[in-house]
A and B are shown apart, each in its own frame.
Chain A
Amino acid sequence: MVEQPPILEMRNITKKFPGVKALNNVSFQVARGEIHCLVGENGAGKSTLMKVLSGVYLHGTYEGDILFDGEVQKFSSISDSERAGIAIIYQELALIPEMTVYENIFVGNEIKKGFRIDWNETIKRANEALKKVRLNVNPATKVRDLGVGKQQLIEIAKALSKEIKLLILDEPTAALNENDSENLLNLIRELKDHGVTCIMISHKLKEVIAIADTVTVLRDGQTICTLDAHKGEVSEPVLIKHMVGREIENIYPPRAPRSSDEVVLEVRDWNAYDPTLGREILKDVHFNVKKGEIVGFAGLMGSGRTELALSLFGNPKGYRINGEILLHGQPEHFTHPAEAIKGGLAYVTEDRKAAGLILIQDVKQNITLANLREIARRNVVNSNAEVQVAESYRTSLNIKTPSIEQRVGNLSGGNQQKVSLGKWLFVKPDLLILDEPTRGIDVGAKYEIYTIMTRLVQQGMSIIMISSELPEILGMSDRVYVVSAGRITGELPIEEATQEKIMHLATN
């Protein structure tokens, strides 16, 4: 076989964000006509790399070169990369639910006759595109009325309606059931036979093994290795080893082992159904948390950990819930976060900007918001007491801000997280739920947050820590539960937990 030049070559790509190097000198090659899988932990840089490739990050905002189809490319927009023949399909589908299938396939790429859209030609070409993805639906159906699996295929049909040479799929099967996933994988194989090169990002290693010709592993913004499936280099243990091979740095404060066996929270037979998504999001969840313990909840993004936290914390999203919560042995039924707070729970959200803080308000208003009663008499807030409370958390949590009157939106991520933490410590909870407590913050602030957590559990508080970062899970937890697809797939005492075991349970 004659060596063909690769269709894509990305050379020494470096992409910096304020405070972090998301990609550090990454090189990546894709051969013509292959299925190339890109794997790595959350935050390894896969999506960033694909965004560089597809022109979301313009030429000039990163270092390095992109060679596509034999030419150096300098994309300054997504339409540039589309013109070159690259199509990307994101995890969150970009379809317009209220439009029909054929309108969606040609939106932004309308077929014109004079000044008008040629609808007949549009429908004809839409039918052809649907045939290519073997989807048998009426093109006049509204996308809203189709299931996620079919919507995914429409995205692909949309991509195929253009002249594409390279199709990028970002976790295409994350939201699909087994049947739909199987269909999709078959379709990708078929496209390969028709000469379309495909890059697929996936967390489901079984799929990767089933479909890939080549696998590239990224970790911490660097290429770790590229493996050839046809030479038998790809297997689950090998992939996991490369994905998690990160050294556990010694940034976790030492802590005496927990001494109490008193159970603070017990959850039994916990099921939740999300009516807006129309599917089961938690299935038969069972776990407990003891006094003075940090319980890690590991898993991949989208595995249902945040939903679990929300369903316990007064269920603000209105899931349909079935199951039992025992708090200090007493059955509880929280119907609003206010009740959960009264019951001694606190929840530091994963997305502090969208759901955790009020960015247009200042530090002190954010800190006192969840417990204004504490500093009020007859419903009138004592503003001097408020300042004292805010100042005390500013000192004890080392929040770096010019003043407590500073708007929270102006603080750095690490300091915002500390404000969020301060707010929830002020409700004086027995059980603190931390959802991705160190996401997007620098190492120094991370260490401070770990130190605060250690101090809290030593004072007898219990902590549930949801984290996608395995070193953090292993460094901080007393016990680890692994969540995958809405189920708890394993419980590991910290002595037995390893990155490999957790990743195995999480990708199951």
Chain B
Amino acid sequence: MAFLQNFFRDLQKVLRQNIREYGMFIALFVIWAFFAITTRGTFLTARNISNLLNQTGYIAVMAVGVTLVIVIRHIDLSIGFLLGFLGAVAAIALKVWELPVGVVILLVLALGVVLGTIPSFMVANLGIPAFVATLAGWLAYRGLLVVVLAGTGTIIIENEFFNAIGNGYIPDIPNLTFLPEVHKLTLLLGLVAIILFIVGQLNDRKKKLAYNFEVLPPAIFVLKLGFVSVVGLVATWVLAGYNGPSWTMVIMLVVVAIYQFMTTQTILGRHIYAVGGNPEAAQLSGINVKKITYFVFCSMGLLTALAGILYASRLRSASPQAGNGFELDAIASAFIGGASPAGGIGTIVGSLIGALVYMSLTNGMNLMGTGSDAQNIVKGVVLAGAVIFDVATRSRAK
């Protein structure tokens, strides 16, 4: 009895302390449950979940970049049409210049980084507000996109390898006959990931205990491990039931993993958050605020290029309409994911969840047959709700 009492008291405490972090997961869960009911289960089929993750890919990649831009108190409106423009460059390089696909990908990524220096220069060196600097970019790329496609119109991309990035799935282990309908490599990878997670958590806990640091109560710790493992197993099973993970999902996860590591574990990441939290204090602490600004906008350019490749590949084409409004989807995802426009706050995983929430709404409402105008209203309400929740929990934390 006493054990149970303690357990629930600890659980309550942990949940209360971390309500902001868990809030998004709860929101995602509620939205999925809602659509599961309204679509009579169609939403939760392996096929639809796989589809949802693929749709989320390029938005999530951009949202990761935008998160850092928002963390350092700026904004980037140009990325939607920049994505379209870079996708068009990729298509032209493949079809017109007939460059090898590897070269095309590297070229587009490099171009993204180079173009990232333009807003960096305007913001960091000239002191122009990012809103204006990137609005100029929005206009310019919108025009450029049409100009580069003027000769050809929409370009259909026929390169198999390139198109596989946005449409292909990772291959299965050949010559295995058991469980015929299931993607065995997915199961293997899923199990390995869960085991690595558990081992990592145990190691971390052991180290913390050795240093005499505070750790979660044992019962709660086991509950956390169990919960995450079950969610992981379910996700693995669902994905394995339908082709396994796509290359898009792999790329998205790799980007999220790299940025999550960078922001939470490295000096660079800490400097980015310091600049966002208080630029003056950061500068007096020896941080080069200009360099950080360059890094963040150039990383935004790189990720936009990557998203551009994902999108062009997914559609197997580059069109003059590509990217229209994507900047706002990415920005909304970051805000839903808990980024603060006041700066210094926002996480990569949060923005990934934000993008998932955002695309779940699109996906679910499409399944329900909701019109796009009504969809926008709902999304607007969800965005406002997320920000209100954020403000409310933040002021309580004070």
Contact = CB atoms under 8 A, between A and B. Distances in A.
Interface stretch (B21-29, B284-292, B311-319): B284-292
Given A358-B278, A361-B277, A410-B398, A384 B207 contact: yes
A12 to B, nearest CB: 35
Interface residues of B, number: 28
Interface in A360-390: 360-361, 365, 369-370, 372-373, 376, 379-381, 383-384, 387-388
B267 A376 contact: yes
B207 A381 contact: no
A365 B213 contact: no
Contact of A356 (B266, B268, B284): B284
A242 interface: no
A316 to B, nearest CB: 5
Main secondary structure of the interface of A (DSSP, over half): helix
Contact of B213 (A361, A380, A387): A387
A313 B283 CA distance: 11
A277 interface: no
A163 to B, nearest CB: 42
A358 B398 contact: no
Interface stretch (A215-223, A231-239, A347-355): A347-355
A275 to B, nearest CB: 13
Given A361-B273, A373-B267, A380-B265, A354 B280 contact: yes
Contacts of B287: 338, 369
A366 B270 CA distance: 10
B193 interface: no
A359 interface: yes
A87 interface: no
B277 A370 contact: no
Contact of B285 (A379, A388, A423): A423
Contacts of A85: none
Contacts of B207: 384
Interface in A302-360: 313-314, 316, 336-338, 340-342, 347, 349, 354-360
A316 B267 contact: no
Interface string B345-373: 10000000000000000000000000000
B119 interface: no
Contacts of B13: none
B211 interface: yes
Using C-beta atoms within 8 Å of the partner chain, give the interface range for chain A. Answer: 35 or more
A345 to B, nearest CB: 10
A358 B278 CA distance: 6
A475 interface: no
Main secondary structure of the interface of B (DSSP, over half): helix
A423 B274 CA distance: 13
B395 to A, nearest CB: 12
A33 interface: no
Interface in B240-295: 265-268, 270-271, 273-274, 277-278, 280-288
A210 B270 CA distance: 56
A381 B266 CA distance: 5
Counting chain B CB atoms within 10 Å of each CB, which of A336, A372, A383 scores highest? A372
Contact of B286 (A341, A356, A359, A410): A341
Interface string B194-238: 000000000000011001011000000000000000000000000
B345 A358 contact: no
A355 B285 CA distance: 10
A419 to B, nearest CB: 12
Contacts of B266: 376, 379-381
Given A360-B345, A372-B267, A337 B273 contact: no
A409 interface: yes
Interface of B: 207-208, 211, 213-214, 265-268, 270-271, 273-274, 277-278, 280-288, 344-345, 397-398
Given A355-B280, A372-B270, 13 more contacts: A316-B283, A338-B287, A341-B286, A354-B281, A355-B281, A358-B281, A359-B277, A360-B277, A361-B273, A369-B287, A372-B267, A373-B267, A384-B207
17 contacts: A316-B280, A336-B288, A354-B281, A355-B278, A355-B284, A357-B278, A357-B281, A358-B277, A358-B278, A365-B274, A370-B286, A373-B267, A380-B265, A381-B267, A384-B211, A384-B213, A409-B398
